[in-house]
Every structure is written in structure tokens, then in C-alpha cells.
Structure 1
Amino acid sequence: MASSCQNAAVIAHVISEALHKKSKGDSSEYNIILTELSRSNILDVSLSRWLDGLKCCASVLGKGFEDLVGITLDINWIYKDDQFVADYTEYLTSLLSANPVYLSPCIRKLVSLMKPETQQDPGLKLVFERVHQMLNVILKLAPGGLRIVQKMIQELFPYKQKSAFILECYVMNLFRLLEYAPSLTPVVWELIVNKLIQIDTELPNQSQNEVLDDENGGDEKDQSQFQEEINDDHVGDITPYSWPDPDDTCDLLSHKLDVLMSRCLCYCYYCCHPKGVFSFDDSTRLFYVLLEIFKKCLLPTHGSSYPQFLCFYVCSYHKTFCEEFLLRLWTTVESVSLSATVRQAAAAYIGSFAARAKYLPLSCVKTVLELLVGWIHRYVDQFDHLSSGADSFLHGPFYAVCQAVFYIFVFRHKQLLNAESDCSGLSYLQSLNLGRVVSCHLNPLMVCLDSVVNMFATLTRNYQIAFCYTVLERNRRVLVPQHGKTSFPMGTFFPFEPYTLPKSSKFIRHLYQEWEGGSLSDLIGETDSHSEQDTDDEYLQKHRMSESDHDNMSGDVLANSSPQSFSSAAN
């Protein structure tokens, strides 16, 4: 032990002299040290002695000695024995304490080790473990390093052309980083979601126009069930840090997105269950992080198919999350200061979420319908007499809200009709006065997506809630304005369409409301078998409400049936 200390003292003296001479212009001894440290066959014991000596001189390793420090940062310490790693850690902490200027290259080196160069490295688990141990030590020593970490994880994120294994390892390491640097949670999530969006928007889009006819039915389930009744068997044996498959060679973008979504959804589960039990506080923190990222990154992105399901999944854990999510969207729809495109996207999200979230209580579905329909009636009051026909260029948000209502009705009509006895469900739907919506001069049936309109028309005629076929027939004879359907960007955007990624779908399918009706031709057959008492023209004439009637509907109904969290939006 005494001999070791003596050797370290001697080497420290040699280094100190070489550094002093280098500062005076004599680099001969300094270059010898560089050569010695750069030898590929240098023994670990010799390297440790040099590190001990450099540790003693850390205070003078500032400007002018970057090449020497660079050589020490390039040392392949990660695969050495535990004693060498301890020696290297001591050297690095001494260096960074005395010279914070080296924080950036040091952290860059560590972050770069979070993405493997090969899939078949048996020592990767050890590498990642030691990287996080070292990074944790450095961030405790220099909290200001968090800003550098934030910059480096963004700069060094692997390109989407890299393998699924490399991408998954990097994302796994980012989540591991949050264990000891929780303040980076919003930054890490935003980075990951943006990368998911980049991959997602390059996938070929599935045709939306026939989506209702393509889906199979699903089992009915009480819509009031929430976290305490959700089966968590979908998580299986996966943990947030389970090892990626090193034999995964699939290079399809859809597969990479599937792997990353599975990793993210799994991490969401464990954030909401930090000790294996649901935690409302932890879930709330995660929800609001994702909600802000949704507003900033996802809502303005047209055509995204999968990343938004992170919010969909977390909302399933508590009714409060659903209400807050819908309220934020509704506030966006009502904000005339925002662009029409963003407002239309918000309406599309409301419609798709209310239609597809199986866990959403029926009371929330009804509140959403009342808010949307009430807004539509007020819009008709204000602009219908000024309109000569459909014009999505001028009234884009109006048509987006109408399409949301039609879409929700198509998917939820059975629950709405069966929710109460004595035909009160039918009375409730009739009280919405959808006949006035479809027959107004703004003509939403001309602008909204054909598949949704046709299904809505068939179902409302079945239950004599609104007769659309006279309007549809008239629309077929009218030349659509050039800035009509073609300028309606939300026409084929339903954010929560069927989740088809195979690996990650296990987190979503038990929460997802599938289409439970038959095909359009089957529904038309059912309609023909009914004995109709009114023609379309008679129905539209009979069910036109007076100005006072629909004013009462749009005000009183909203006030009487909205949960408190939505009442402010209704007002």
C-alpha cells in the first residue's frame, strides 16, 4: 500500500513537471505522457497509476491541456474491473470539480454509450449500468450538468434508420435516466414523442373512408368502469427496463414504431404503479406532462396515427384525466384566436376520443354531445341566415364539430339509447334536435366524410331522430364549390382509429371501443323493414324548432347535465 502511494506521488510529480514545462513552451515531456496514455497495450495497473497522478494535478488541467484530458475521456473504462472503474470515477470527479469546462465532452461521451454499436454485445447490460452510475455521480457533483444532458440526449438520439434494437435501447436508457434526474421528465417525453411522430407520419396512411364498414364488432362493457376494474394482465412480464430482443432484425418503420410504443406504454404503466399499486399522484404528474406535449406536438400534427394513444392509455386510469383532456380540447375548439386548422383538429380529437374510449363514462359522452350540439345550434343562429350553402373555407371548425357529433352518435348510439328505460334514451337524443343541424343552410352533410354521413343518416332514420336523405339527395344534384370538401383538412382525420401495431396493441385493445354495428347495407335493410310514418320532407318540416325552443335546448340542457369540470366550458 505504501509502495502504491509512493508510485502515485512520483507519477504526480512527473505529470506536474510536464504540465509546468508545457505551459512554458517545452512540450517534450508532455508529449511522452500523451504517447504513454495512448498505447493500446498499456496495462490496467499502469493506467490506474497515471489516473491517480492526474487526479492530483486536476486543478491545473485547464485551458491548454484539452488533448491530454481528451485521451483520458477516451479510455475504455467501461469494460474494466470494478477497481479500475472506481479509480476512473475518482479521477473524473476530481477533474470535473476543478474544471467544469469538461462537463460537456464528458457527458457527451456517456450519453453516446447509451446507444449500442452492435446488437450482439454480451456486455451491454453492464455498459448501461455503469453509464448510469457514472452519470448519476456527475449530476450530483454538478447539477448544472442537467442542461448539458438535455442537449446531448437530443443531439445523439439515433436516426430512425437505425435498427429497432438500437432505438429501443436508447429509449430504455432515457427512461432509466429519469430515475435519478426526474426534472428532465418533460424534456425526455417530448423528445421521444417527437421521434415517434417522425416515424409515424412516414407510415402509409390507412384509408379512412371505409373504416366503419371494415371493423368487427366488440363486446359491450359498462362505460363507467375505470382503473379499479381494468385488467392489467396486458402488462405481462414486461418491465420498463426489460432487455430488447438482440435478434430483432426487422427494418420496417412500422415495427420500429411498434417496439417504441410498447416500451413507452409499459413505462406509463409503471409510472402509474410505482410500487405495483395505482398511485393517483404519480399518474397525475405523468398525465399533465403528456397533456402539455400533446398540446405542443401532437395537436398541430395532421395525420398522426399512434403516438396520441399514450394520452389515450393514461386517461384510462382516472375519470379526472378524461375530463381534463376533453376540457382542454373543448377550450381549443372555442378559442377563435387560434387557427382554424388547430380548432378542427381539436374537434376531431374530441369526436374520436368520445367514440373510441371504452372506459369513458356515458355521462361524459352525453356531456360532450351536449357541448358540441349546443355550440352548433348557437353557430347556426349566428351564421346560417348569412350562408347560401356549404363553405368549409369559411366555416371549417363548424363542420369539424358537426362531424365529431355524427361520429360519436354512430359509435355510441346503442349505449345512449339503452342507458335509460321508458324510451328516455330516445327522448334524450331527440332533444338534441339533430334534424335542425342537418337541414340548416350551412349543410354539414355536404362537407363531412361520406362514410360517417351515410352511417349517421341510416341510424338517425332508423330511430326517427333526424331524416337526412332529402338533404343528401339534394346535395347530389348540387355542384360542390371548389373550396368545399377539398379544403376540409379534417375530413379523413380520426385520431383514435383502430390500433394495428401488434406488439403494443395489448396495452390498448381492452380499452378500445370497436364498431359494434353491421355494415351500411345491413342497416339499410333494417331501415326498409321498418314501417315509416313520416317521409323525410314531413319529418324535417315537423321537427323544425322555433327560435325559443332551440335556445332553451342549447342553454338549459347544458346547465342541467354537465359535470362540474365541464360547466365552465359550457358557459
Structure 2
Amino acid sequence: MVSLASTERAPGIIAPSAGGSLKRKQFDANSDNENLLSSQTKRRRVTFDPEVDVRILRDPNEKSLELVGEEVRRALEKHTAGDSTGYDHIRSLLTDKPTSAGAPLTGLLQKYIITLANNVPLLDHRCRGLVHAIIDCSWIARNEQFVRSYRHLLRSLLSVQPGFTSTVLSMLVNMFVESPSPAMRQQDDPSIQRVRIHSRIHDCLSYLLRQSPMASTYLGPILSSTFPFPTDTAKAHVQYIKNILKVSEYCPELKGEIMSLVVDKLVKIDVQIQVDMEELEDDIEDRLVGEAAGDLDGADDSDNESVSSEESLDPEEQRLKDLKESVTKLDSIMDLLFSHYDSVFAGGDLFDIDETFESLLSQFASIILPTYRSRHTQFLLFHFSQTSPNLIERFAGCCSHLAFDHGRPHILRVAAAAYLASFIARGAHVSAAVVRDVFDLLCHHLETLRLACEPACKGPDVRRYGTYYAISQALLYTFCFRWRDLIVTADGIPPTDEEIIYHEGEFTWHNSVHDIIRRNIFSIFNPLKVCAPTIVAQFARMAHHLRFLYVFPLLETNKRIRLARSVGSYTDGVGARETALTMKKGEETFLLDAYFPFDPYVLPRSKRWLEQDYMQWKPVPGMPVERNEEDEDGEESEDESGDESDSQGRIQEEDEDEDGPDDETSTNASS
């Protein structure tokens, strides 16, 4: 039985009397009002007040760092257990483009970056997808705080998981080729300039290299494999080379490797241009170089040409367009390298100059010298070796060592002799003392070879005595340019033009070079028969006018001599037959190439670096000038150095037409 009595009563309720009256008792008015207000107040607190800002759902971008950390930790743990829902969500946040709809704000994404850095030990091979999402994240154009957090994440990742080093470095180096857009940022990021983006790339790369010195061993091959293809634009090449040159500044252990890489790629472009130009007429070459000069200022716009315009060109026009682009590319790269090296040589730091020049000499010996058709790359040595007398002697000594080192292949020794002669002949800052010393050296080796080989020699043979003929041609070529420095005067000063014109009798020549050259020219080796005809003809005219040597009778005799295919002999009469392999006709097969690598430099922009370095060919004062048949018919052929003709050889023709491309078939003839 339930009792109606209760020891606890509800507030404001009076228990019935013993009589059981059901009449309601009257409450006190004040007490009732207070209770009513209290009840209304309680109800008002649980209802919506229009003056209070109440958020039903929380903004995902305002997650706390602790909440994000717990989310990342659970996602990685569940991914290991087989549940990848949270793991895939984090991957999607990292891979979303900042400009896409629904992409997280940079502030939220930074919290995930910070949390991932704290959980790097969990990012093992089972989380490769997430690691690649981190590496591929669009980070470069976001705010500074995010960039610093991301850079710290990469450092932590590589310190714990070094297997991802190549992937991270490749991501950074690829930005050298395709520069990220400054627009790839979120609405909470400030705007950024492109130059700052490049700085961030290098800041991140240098930061990782400092934290992990072994990373540089991975970087070298990546820089080589990422280098633009030869068919890529000039803009792409210049941008990439600028960036890797900057890398060489904060990664000195890769400096030599980077410079060798640039020179190697440059030589390949240089050689391909020479091959492509061989089939062109001189006037087309002139037009190509002129158009390349006009396109230099608009190089950036040329990269945006429409595909339809390219498809409208016929094959020949497309070939010329591609060749012009290659010339512009080569010119831009050469100008960039001249500027880069000039900052070192003009700085005055002797240690840096010595180290840089040794690097250039190494590149010359290993890359440039073996490349027979290199036309412009070697002018880096030509220019910077003339910045001081010491460097002139070092480059000349390097060429001499390579030319007379019997342990090197014959073809390299011949090329080195050509480089030595061309440098001495063309270098405007090469002193008369250096010219005489090199001339003495060449004469000494020429005499040594003659005395050693003459007893067994049966006649001119370039294949058997190639080094001998290379030295002979080097002497002839050098004489044509620097004959004035070989004349001995009482005061030691080279003779003036007036003294040359009005001099009576024979000149006194330095160190009996007259006798040495005479003995060799009239020896059984007969070098005037084997050396390049253009150089021989020019030497004959100048030597005769200077009363140095009279060789015209020998030249007439040589016209009746035909070099035979059999080694070590020659016959009168029928010349050798042309072969499809040699690409030379008749006796050209047995003649020495007229290869002198410092013939006039024609690239329009970068040739400004050589304006004061180059010695132009000048005829001997008072020497009569011959004209060719076209000139006699009334065609005008006046240019810079006078009325020189084909019979005088290509020596002066190339100097006269400095604004046009060099005739590669004449000066750099290939075998």
C-alpha cells in the first residue's frame, strides 16, 4: 500500500489537511511572482536569443592543432590496420590545387603539415602515397609561415626516410625548368612575385643540402637528367642554366660538375648548328644571324607562337626557323656564361680566379678539344685567358702540352696545335714575347720531327706524319698574322708601316726562324703540298713581299704532283679517287684541314665580349692586292679590310665579313 504522506515536498505545494479538503489554498502574491519570473527566466535560457551568435556547425578550417594531430594519428594507425578512409582524406587535402573549389585554406593545411612532421617515423613504405602527396603539394606560392613549416617537414622526412631524397630533389629541380605560377595560392595567402618564388626554391634546396650533405651526391645526376633537350627553347635553356649556376654558388662540391655539364650541352648545340649550316648558302647564313639578332629582345614572345602558324610552314622554312632558334639559343647561353665568368675574373680574388681558370682548362681538354666542330664555345677560353699575361701563358702552355704529348691520340694533338696557333695569331693581348716563344717552340718540334722521320720518308703523307704537318700549318698561319713580331729591330719595337714599306734589303728575323722554315718547306716532307691551299697561298704572297722566302716555283712544281692513295708515296698524273666515306674530292683526301678554331666570332649579342680581344688580319703594307674575276667584271666587293680576294685565302675574307657567319667549309673543314 502506497502512503500518501511524503517527507519531502515540492516547493510551493501545501499538503492537504487531515480532513481531506480539496480546496486550493491561496498563495502569497510576492512568492508567486518570484516563482513565475524564475520559471520564465529558465525557459528563456534554453531558447535562441537573437542577440547571441550561435554556430550550429563548426568551420573545418578552424580545427585546432590538437584536433588535427589526433585526426592524423588515427588516420595513420587505421591505414596500417587496413582502413584508409582518413588516410585518403588527408592525401586529398594535400593534392588539391589551392585554386580549386573546396580546397583547404593555407592556415588549416599548415596544421596538417606540422602534424605530419611530428609523425614522420610513421611515414614508411606503407605510406608512400601520402609521402608523394606531400612532395607534390602546391607549397611554393603560399605564405611564409607555411613555407617554413613545409621546409621543416621535408628535412624531417629525409632525415628519417632518406629513400625519398631523390624524389624531393627532383621536385625542386623540375621547378628550374617549369617555373611555378604565383597564382597557385589560397585566398588567405598574400600575393607573391615570381622572383621570390625562385628564391624560395633555392632557399629550400640549400636548406636541405646543409642539413644532409650527402644529398649533393643525388643532386648531380638529377641536374644532368633534367637539363632541357636541345630542341627546347632558348628561354628554357637560359632559365635552367641560370638556376644551376646559382646552385653551384651554395653547393661548391658540385661546381665543377655543373660547369662541365653546361659546357658539354653547349658544345652539342654549337656542333649541331655547324652541321645544319653546311648546306646553306652564305647569304642565307647572313640572314639567319641577322634575324637571330633581331629576335633576341623578343625571345620570350617567340615561345608563345601558335601551333597553327608552325604547321603552315613548309619543311624548308621550318628548318630555317629551327636553325634561327638554335642560333639565338647558343648566343643567349654564351652571353650568360660570359657574364657569369666575368663576375669572377673581374672580382680580383686570385684564389677564385685560379680555381675558375683551372676548371675552364679542364673543360677545354676534356670536352671542347675533342669536339672537332666546336665553333663558338672555345671563345670562353679565348676571352678570359687574355685577362692577364699569366693566364695567356697558362693557356698557351696547356695547348702546347696537349699538342706535344705523345701519350695522347694523334687527332687531339693535331687539334691542340691548331688551337695554339689560332690563339697566338688572333689574340690581341698576346704579347710579342709570347708570340716569339711559341714560334720557337713550334720550330723546335718541327725540326725534331724532321730529323727523326726524314730518313724513312718517301714523300708527303698526312696520314703518317700528321703531327708534322699540323705544326707546319700552325707556323704558316701564325706567320700570316704575327709576322711583325718576328722582325728584330735595334730598339726592340716592332717596325711601323712606313719602315716596312721603305725598308731596303732583307729583314732580320727572330732566332733564325727563317732558316728553320726554309729547310722544312724544301724538305722531302714538302709541307706546302699537304697544308691547306688557302693558307699556303697567303703565306707565299706575304713571305715573298717581306723577302722572307720565295716559294712560288715550288708551288708550280706541286701542281704537277698528285698525292697517291698508297701510304708514303706520290705520283705524277692521275689524282686519287673520291670516296663516299671521306666526303672529300680527289686530293682533298690527302690534305690537312684548314681548321683554326678562333676564326671570327659572329653571334650577334655575345660578340660584344670579344671586341677588344680579337686581332684582325691586315695585309702587309705596300703589298699589291689581287682581285678575283667577279671584281674585274665590275661587282663591288669592298669591305672592312680592303680589296682582298679568294686567291688570298679565307684568312682575310672571314675578317672582312664579321657580321656574317663563318664559312665552315673553308675554315673548319671536316674530314
**Smaller-chain TM-score bracket:** 0.7 to 0.9
Bigger drift between 66-75 and 474-483 goes to: 474-483
CA contact (8 A) 2:270 2:330 kept: yes
Match of 1:98 in 2: 160
Residue 514 (1) aligns with residue 613 (2): no
Match of 1:37 in 2: 94
Q: 1:140 to 1:197 in 2, by over 3 A?
A: same
Match of 2:582 in 1: none
- Equivalent pairs counted in the alignment come to 486
Matched position secondary structure for 2:209: helix
Shift of 1:422: 8.5
Match of 2:508 among 411, 421, 427: 427
CA contact (8 A) 1:165 1:244 kept: no
CA contact (8 A) 1:178 1:185 kept: yes
Residues 67-125 of structure 1: CA deviation (Å, up to 9, x unaligned): 10111111111111222212212222222222222211111010010123699999432
Q: 1:424 to 1:153 in 2, by over 3 A?
A: closer
Match of 1:247 in 2: 301
Match of 1:502 in 2: 604
Identity score, percent? 25
Residues 253-303 of structure 1: CA deviation (Å, up to 9, x unaligned): 1110000000000101001234xxx23222111100010111111111101
Shift of 1:18: 2.2
Shift of 1:448: 0.8
Shift of 1:347: 0.5
CA contact (8 A) 2:446 2:472 kept: yes
Match of 1:458 in 2: 541
Q: 1:418 to 1:80 in 2, by over 3 A?
A: farther
Match of 1:174 in 2: 244
CA contact (8 A) 1:55 1:94 kept: yes
Shift of 1:489: 8.2
In the alignment, the residues of structure 1 paired with residue 181 and residue 72 of structure 2 have an alpha-carbon distance, to the nearest angstrom, of 40
Match of 1:333 among 385, 403, 406: 403
Matched position secondary structure for 1:106: helix
Match of 2:660 in 1: none
Match of 1:23 among 71, 80, 87: 80
Q: 1:74 to 1:348 in 2, by over 3 A?
A: same
Shift of 1:487: 4.7
Match of 1:162 in 2: 232
Mapping 1:60-209, distance limit 5 Å: 60-116=122-178, 123-204=193-274
Match of 1:387 in 2: 457
Runs of 4+ in 1 over 4 A off after TM superposition: 3-6, 117-123, 248-251, 418-425, 487-490, 518-521
Mapping 1:131-530, distance limit 5 Å: 131-204=201-274, 246-247=300-301, 249=303, 252-274=325-347, 278-417=348-487, 421=491, 426-429=507-510, 431-432=512-513, 433=515, 434-482=517-565, 486-487=588-589, 491-517=593-619, 522-523=624-625
Root mean square deviation, CA, Å = 2.9
Matched position secondary structure for 1:517: coil
Q: 1:519 to 1:496 in 2, by over 3 A?
A: farther
Matched position secondary structure for 2:257: helix
Shift of 1:28: 3.2
Hey, which of these two has a bigger chunk of helix by percent? 1
Q: Determine which structure has greater relative contact order: mean sequence separation of CA pairs < 8 Å that are 6+ residues apart, divided by chain length.
A: 1
CA contact (8 A) 1:458 1:523 kept: no
Q: 1:446 to 1:403 in 2, by over 3 A?
A: same
In the alignment, the residues of structure 2 paired with residue 123 and residue 420 of structure 1 have an alpha-carbon distance, to the nearest angstrom, of 67
TM-score under structure 2 normalisation?
0.68
In the alignment, the residues of structure 2 paired with residue 119 and residue 336 of structure 1 have an alpha-carbon distance, to the nearest angstrom, of 56
Amino acid at match of 2:92: T
Q: 1:45 to 1:269 in 2, by over 3 A?
A: same
In the alignment, the residues of structure 2 paired with residue 430 and residue 370 of structure 1 have an alpha-carbon distance, to the nearest angstrom, of 8
CA contact (8 A) 2:469 2:592 kept: no
In the alignment, the residues of structure 2 paired with residue 200 and residue 389 of structure 1 have an alpha-carbon distance, to the nearest angstrom, of 38
CA contact (8 A) 1:417 1:423 kept: no
**Which stretches in structure 2 are left out of the alignment for 5+ residues?**
1-59, 98-102, 184-191, 283-296, 304-320, 496-506, 568-575, 577-586, 628-671
CA contact (8 A) 1:113 1:127 kept: no
CA contact (8 A) 2:436 2:485 kept: no
Rg bigger for which structure? 2
Residues 442-483 of structure 1: CA deviation (Å, up to 9, x unaligned): 111111111111111111112222222122111100112237
Q: 1:195 to 1:489 in 2, by over 3 A?
A: farther
Residues 197-241 of structure 1: CA deviation (Å, up to 9, x unaligned): 11100113678xxx9xxxxxxxxxxxxxxxxxxxxxxxxxxxxxx
Q: 1:108 to 1:410 in 2, by over 3 A?
A: same
Matched position secondary structure for 1:522: coil
Q: 1:9 to 1:139 in 2, by over 3 A?
A: same
CA contact (8 A) 2:418 2:596 kept: yes
Matched position secondary structure for 1:160: coil
Amino acid at match of 1:415: D
Shift of 1:12: 2.2
Shift of 1:421: 4.3
In the alignment, the residues of structure 2 paired with residue 360 and residue 419 of structure 1 have an alpha-carbon distance, to the nearest angstrom, of 19
TM-score under structure 1 normalisation?
0.79
Q: 1:313 to 1:37 in 2, by over 3 A?
A: same
CA contact (8 A) 1:351 1:405 kept: yes
**Which stretches in structure 1 are left out of the alignment for 5+ residues?**
212-242, 526-571
